[in-house]
Amino acid sequence: MTIPDIQSQPDERKINIDKVGVKSLRYPILVEDRQNQVQHTVANLNLYVDLPHHRRGTHMSRFVQVLNNYHQDMIIDQLDTFLDELKSVMNAEAAYVDICFPYFIQKQAPISKINSLMSYDCCFNASFKEDYELWIGVTVPVTTLCPCSKEISEAGAHNQRTHITIKLQYIDFIWLEELVEIAESVASCEIYPLLKRPDEKYVTERAYSRPRFVEDITREIAQILQNDKRIKRFIIEADSIESIHDHNAYALVRSNGYDTNS
């Protein structure tokens, strides 16, 4: 029995489709880990290709089939090959992947030196049209302490959890761990999963001695990234869960090379 292939029908509407594919697919992945060689985690993926105006539909099942070829591999180290294979299998001129996952790094408490695991949300966004382009990104929770609140108050200062997101395109390879370190270095203080009392004293005093606005956070990271020859373009965000409001304070800095409206 022949089963008709509706997707391969011709299309007369003269409309190219920019992206078509599968969204919000969950998949276990292996990620290269600077410390421990390899890390198991769980990713959320979007996989798209373009579709020329003359074909009616894409073949959705092939996205998952190509992904399955990378099941026991470190897919994020070979997204170019993966996208090239997608283009070929889909007969497409452009392919896209968004792959987001929690990544765990061992952190040592500052005084007690007890280790614990901290998780960071990472996203890789890659596209392969004529050229392969990769954006890597990581979101780092830190403490920020308000410089204004400290200055104007007799004691104390409001502080809060702030999410710093660094997204960038690199020329030479950069570890996620390096981005985490940069984000943590500019914060009022780093965040740890486990703090004993001497550690809590340390992080409280350190945050109080290093007040930072979201503006400061994004500017200090921008200065570091601008001077790093390995980096081509970047976007930096700081999103602060203000302890004195029910809304967030937010800042965004883009390198000049990135010129969209988004």
Residues 7-36 that bind its own copies (CB under 8 A): 7, 11, 13, 15-28
* One residue of 161, 170, 177, 232 binding its own copies per CB under 8 A: 161
Binding segment (CB under 8 A) for its own copies, from list 80-88, 143-151, 171-179? 143-151
Site for its own copies in 185-204 (CB under 8 A): 189, 191-198, 200-201, 203-204
Q: What is the DSSP string of 174-241?
A: --HHHHHHHHHHHSSEE--S---HHHHHHHHHHHHHS---HHHHHHHHHHHHHT-TTEEEEEEEEEE-
Closest to its own copies by CB, 17 vs 74, is 17
Q: List the one residue out of 161, 187, 172 whose CA is nearest residue 249.
A: 161
Binding segment (CB under 8 A) for its own copies, from list 78-86, 159-167, 172-180? 159-167
Does residue 80 interact with its own copies by CB under 8 A? Answer: no
What are the strands, taking DSSP E only, across 52-203?
95-108, 115-128, 132-145, 159-170, 189-190
Query: CB-hemisphere CA count at 13 Å for 23?
Result: 2
Binding segment (CB under 8 A) for its own copies, from list 2-10, 73-81, 82-90, 177-185? 2-10
Does residue 232 interact with its own copies by CB under 8 A? Answer: no
Query: How many of the chain's residues bind its own copies (CB under 8 A)?
Result: 110
Measured CA to CA, the distance from residue 30 to residue 162 in angstroms comes to 28
* One residue of 123, 158, 170, 232 binding its own copies per CB under 8 A: 158
Measured CA to CA, the distance from residue 36 to residue 39 in angstroms comes to 7
Does residue 207 interact with its own copies by CB under 8 A? Answer: yes
Does residue 214 interact with its own copies by CB under 8 A? Answer: yes
Residue 112, both tokens: 């007690």
Burial class (CB in 10 A: 0-12, 13-18, 19+), 218: buried
Burial of 229-240, coded b for 16+ CB within 10 Å and e otherwise, reads eebebbbbbbbb
H-helix or E-strand containing 243?
A: none
Site for its own copies in 43-72 (CB under 8 A): 46, 48, 51, 56-58, 60-61, 64-65, 68, 71
Residue 186, both tokens: 């500019």
Measured CA to CA, the distance from residue 7 to residue 28 in angstroms comes to 29
Does residue 147 interact with its own copies by CB under 8 A? Answer: yes
Closest to its own copies by CB, 27 vs 77, is 27
Closest to its own copies by CB, 171 vs 252, is 252
Does residue 113 interact with its own copies by CB under 8 A? Answer: no
Binding segment (CB under 8 A) for its own copies, from list 75-83, 85-93, 178-186, 207-215? 207-215
Shortest CB 22 distance to its own copies, Å: 5
